[in-house]
Amino acid sequence: MYLANLTWPAMAALDKSTPVVIPVAAVEQHGHHLPVYTDSLLLGEVVRRVELAMSERVLFAPLQWLGNSHHHLDFPGTVSAGPRLYLDLLRELAENLLIHGFTRIVFLNGHGGNIVPGKQAVFELRQQHRHRSDLLLLFSTYWEFTPVTDLVQASMGHACEWETSMIQRLAPELVAGDVSKLETVPFGFGYEPAYRGWITKDRTVPGYIGSPQFATPEKGERLFRDFSAGVEQFLHQVIAWDGRTWA
């Protein structure tokens, strides 16, 4: 069920152990071939499929399209909240739901740049509410629940084989040009296992990372199906939490 469709009395009547999912994504450049709303479009489709499967067992908040995308700001079309501002935004969203009595808050993420501040947000929230034992505060990313081992890419890139395939499946009219003519932009942060600070233009000229030339809509459907199933399985685990155990 969708929070946006409910009245406040209907919200008040819900079982407060109902998991509340807050989808968080981004508006940012995705190379020359994909729209800036890519992350939000893809997460929105995953949410749509999961909501259909889980019906009245999970409450989905409206998708938050503003993400932490400062590393993409050299490319026009990117709209971003800085990491510290974004962290506070997520904390306040969760706090609103805690005020209304909900005890299982799940951020479902669709953008890589949200991961670090998102994890920090739930870490800080738990410390702030350290005297409560009834809270389950989670930050998750939809593509991390389902391993992908048989495509060209073994992990998510940016406007890559995975994302391009899913947009080809969801909204092919938004894919610009012939992606089969694009060339691979390699993964890798440099200096691993150390983590090198970076902005997107350090790593790519066209704005994508990965191998979009291998995208197909058939791969996109398979990815949507598998990622949605992974999220659904995860949410069943959230529903089954007994309120006491660690996992």
What pLDDT, on a 0 to 100 scale, did the predictor assign at position 189? 82
Q: How many domains is the chain partitioned into structurally?
A: 1
- Predicted local distance difference test score (pLDDT) of residue 17: 97
Q: Please, are residues 94 and 137 in contact by the beta-carbon 8 Å criterion?
A: yes
User: 245 lies in a domain?
Assistant: no
Dihedral angle sign, alpha carbons of residues 188, 194, 198, 201? negative
Question: Residue 158, class by beta-carbon neighbours within 10 Å (0-12 exposed, 13-18 middle, 19+ buried)?
Answer: buried
Amino acid 213: pLDDT: 98
Spatial CA neighbour of 91 closest among 215, 99, 179: 99
Position 213 in a domain? yes
Tell me what pLDDT residue 70 has.
98
Whether residue 247 is contained in a domain is answered as: no
What CATH number corresponds to the domain at position 176?
Answer: 3.40.50.10310
Buried b (16+ CB within 10 A) or exposed e, 39-65: bbbbbbbbbebbbeebeeebbbbebbb
Question: Considering the domain boundaries, does residue 106 fall inside one?
Answer: yes
Structural contact between residues 210 and 154, judged by C-beta atoms closer than 8 angstroms: no
Residue 204 is predicted with a pLDDT of 97
68 touches 117 (CB < 8 A): yes
For residue 246, being part of any structural domain is answered with no
The single residue listed with the structure tokens 């947000």 is 121
Please report the pLDDT score of residue 6 as a whole number: 98
Name the strand (E) or helix (H) holding 140.
Answer: strand 136-141
* Residue pLDDT, tens place only, 52-78: 999 889 999 999 999 999 999 999 999
Q: How far apart are CA 122 and CA 81, in angstroms?
A: 18
**Is 167 within 8 Å of 42 (Cβ atoms)?**
yes
The pLDDT score that the predictor gives to residue 57 is 96
**b/e map of 172-198 (b: 16 or more CB within 10 Å)?**
eeebeeebeebebbebeeeeeeeeeee
Report which DSSP code applies to 156. -
CA atoms of 49 and 53, how far apart (whole Å): 6
pLDDT of residue 247: 80
- Any idea how long the chain is? 247
Q: Flag residues of the chain having pLDDT under 50.
A: none
3-class DSSP state of 30: strand
Instruction: Quote the domain boundaries for residue 171.
Output: 3-9+17-238
The answer to whether residue 244 sits within a structural domain is: no
Q: Is residue 89 part of a domain?
A: yes
Q: ∠ CA 43-72-222 to the nearest 5 degrees?
A: 30
In a domain, 180, yes or no: yes
Q: What is the pLDDT of residues 14-39, one digit of tens each?
A: 999 999 999 999 999 999 999 999 99
pLDDT of residue 74: 98
Instruction: Specify the DSSP element, H or E, that contains 163.
Output: helix 161-170
